[in-house]
Amino acid sequence: MRILLKISLILFCCAIVSSCMRSPRRKDVGNFTFSFAAYYGDHMVLQKAPQAATVWGYGEEVGSDVVVTGFDHEAVTTTVTELNTWSVKLPPIQDTNSTYNITAKSQNKSIMLKNVLFGDIWICSGQSNMVFTLDMANDAQAEMQEAKNYSHIRVFTASQETSDTPLTDLKGVAEPWSIPSQDTVGHKPWTYFSAVCWLYGKLLYQNRGYPIGLITSAWGGTAIELWSSANALAKCGIKEGKQENLTLTHSSLWNAMMAPFTRLTIYGVVWYQGEANAGSPDTYNCTFPEMIADWRKQFTTNSDGQTNSLFPFGFVQLAPNRDRSKYDISTGFPDIRWHQTADMGYVPNYYMSNVFMAVAMDLPDFSSPYGSIHPRYKQDVASRLLTSALAVAYNKHTNIRYQGPQPDGYSLHEGDKTIRIGYDNRSTHLDIRSMEGFEVCCSTNNRSVCNKFDNSSRWMPAPIVEYDAFSVRVWYAACADNEHVVGLRYEWRESPCDLFRCAIYSKENGLPAPPMITVGTFGNNKYNRIRARKRVTY
């Protein structure tokens, strides 16, 4: 009986290892070719110092030596494991000006990565607005023709694949590592290369002055549950399931399109997703932060600690969708925008450390030939991402105003039915472009929380009637005399304003104030602080 139990345990453990460490290249026992993993290739960028780049691949014989050379240090030696894989951690390479040919040798066989640069690697992921290719963006021809001038940026696109279990390697590659050209960055619509990823990388290269490696792994129409591991979803009480309209199971894209990259040393991630969750947004304030935390843990662990455990994570706050002149929609997109910040209204914050964002709610493109949900203003998105990335990801907080105006508090004045909202402790000069955008929650119940289940409350317009350099005053006359003001929100619409015409911007950097909501009792003539370490749920 004990022998049978031991055999059963051994078989069970082998099954677990096989499923958790599954590799698309491992077809049959012993059927391996000495090679690099699928996402290594000529012309690639590897992560520069102070991090150490990781390189791995497949070996033909378990226990055989693999010697890796081609950099200004001694050779690095490893052995082929039981899984017929090998992995090395290169010495940290600070030289970002030279090109390298990195050679791996084993059993009289040799393979090489040619024309390799060392710089920063960024992974770009999400749904269709990240897939959206450069040839579809504004000024596409000029952008594509200019691409050849950026030979120190390299691009790579993963194939769209699924898996029921986490893979160690990609099933397929849509675009191998390539030097920028009109074709490699603008092949054809919805193929490669991602407009947001390329434009962000180009601006980043212009600022940093050293090589940038860009990896796109994205799939249109996909919900965050598909990009999250089972462990991350479990922390939000979400069990196995699938996205019905695509018949894709939860975690299937994490398994096939992100988990394989976790063995690669990277610098950061840029994420553009959320539209697919707008129909059921209530869990996004959990799933998004938990996905970020889980990705960080997996990348750090699987890169042997070389990817920073708090690597910078940037995202695009949802852009507009349907024409505001025809649709007045105050649910879905606004909820996701708020939940993208873990219900704080800004990042980085207590729940989302080392996270940055680009506000995009003022970039409508209702005439986009690709549908209004796919605005062509990707240059503006990339520019805003860069501004916040330099501050957060590259530690330039003191030199850069990287956000739009942030409200710090408000005070209600019953005498003239106004509310004064102050910004950034009087440190940001406001640029007021519209008198619309604010709303107040009016309720006969002064304990109302203004949510969709509360029939005693209603949101009403509160136009700006006065402003100065640091604050605005809104008028809440729409509330009846027997109603209390128990909530305040800003630009809470799917498509809140015309192009570059939301109400409040910063004069210093031209960035828009993000959407905001706060609920609770408003005391007369009392200044209420907004930016506390407390989530605002409604």
The mean predicted confidence, pLDDT, of the chain is 92
What's the CA gap between 232 and 287, in Å, rounded? 7
Q: Which residues pair with 154 in a beta bridge?
A: 213
Average pLDDT over residues 448-472: 88
Give the model's pLDDT for residue 6: 40
CA-based torsion, 390, 391, 396, 398: positive or negative: positive
Give the model's pLDDT for residue 9: 39
Surface-to-core class of residue 278, CB atoms within 10 Å of its CB (0-12 exposed, 13-18 middle, 19+ buried) = buried
Residues 6+ apart with CB under 8 A from 209: none
Give the model's pLDDT for residue 452: 66
Residues 6+ apart with CB under 8 A from 407: 345, 421, 422, 423, 490, 513, 516, 530, 531
| pLDDT at residue 145 is higher than 80 | yes
Encode pLDDT of 103-140 as tens digits.
999 999 999 999 999 999 999 999 999 999 999 999 99
Give the model's pLDDT for residue 532: 52
| pLDDT at residue 10 is higher than 90 | no
Average pLDDT over residues 225-243: 95
| pLDDT at residue 533 is higher than 80 | no
Domain 130-159+166-212+266-392: give its CATH architecture: 3-Layer(aba) Sandwich (3.40)
Nearest to 196 by CA among 26, 381, 403: 381
| pLDDT at residue 64 is higher than 80 | yes
Percentage above 70 pLDDT, the chain: 92
Give the model's pLDDT for residue 295: 99
Angle between helices 195-208 and 378-392 (to 10 degrees): 50
515 DSSP assignment: P
Query: How does residue 525 score in pLDDT terms, banded at 50, 70 and 90?
Result: confident
CB atoms within 10 A of CB 525: 9
Give the model's pLDDT for residue 3: 40
Give the model's pLDDT for residue 170: 98
Give the model's pLDDT for residue 76: 97
| pLDDT at residue 232 is higher than 50 | yes
Give the model's pLDDT for residue 536: 60
Q: Which of 195-199, 432-436, 532-536 is predicted with the least confidence, judged by mean pLDDT?
A: 532-536
Instruction: For residue 268, give both structure tokens.
Output: 């950061």
Cis preceding linkage at 348, omega within 30 = yes
Instruction: For residue 442, give both structure tokens.
Output: 């009016």
Query: How does residue 537 score in pLDDT terms, banded at 50, 70 and 90?
Result: low
Q: Which residues pair with 215 in a beta bridge?
A: 123, 156
| pLDDT at residue 11 is higher than 60 | no
Coil, helix or strand for 117?
strand
Give the model's pLDDT for residue 246: 83
| pLDDT at residue 21 is higher than 90 | no
Run of H or E residues at 169: none
| pLDDT at residue 454 is higher than 80 | no
254 DSSP assignment: I
Distances (CA, A) of 454 to 49, 334, 424, 442, 459: 55, 18, 32, 11, 11
Give the model's pLDDT for residue 144: 98
Give the model's pLDDT for residue 4: 39
Nearest to 78 by CA among 121, 87, 143: 87
Surface-to-core class of residue 159, CB atoms within 10 Å of its CB (0-12 exposed, 13-18 middle, 19+ buried) = middle
Encode pLDDT of 250-284 as tens digits.
999 999 999 999 999 999 999 999 999 999 999 99
Give the model's pLDDT for residue 245: 81
Average pLDDT over residues 471-492: 95
Every domain of the chain and the residues it spans: 130-159+166-212+266-392, 407-529
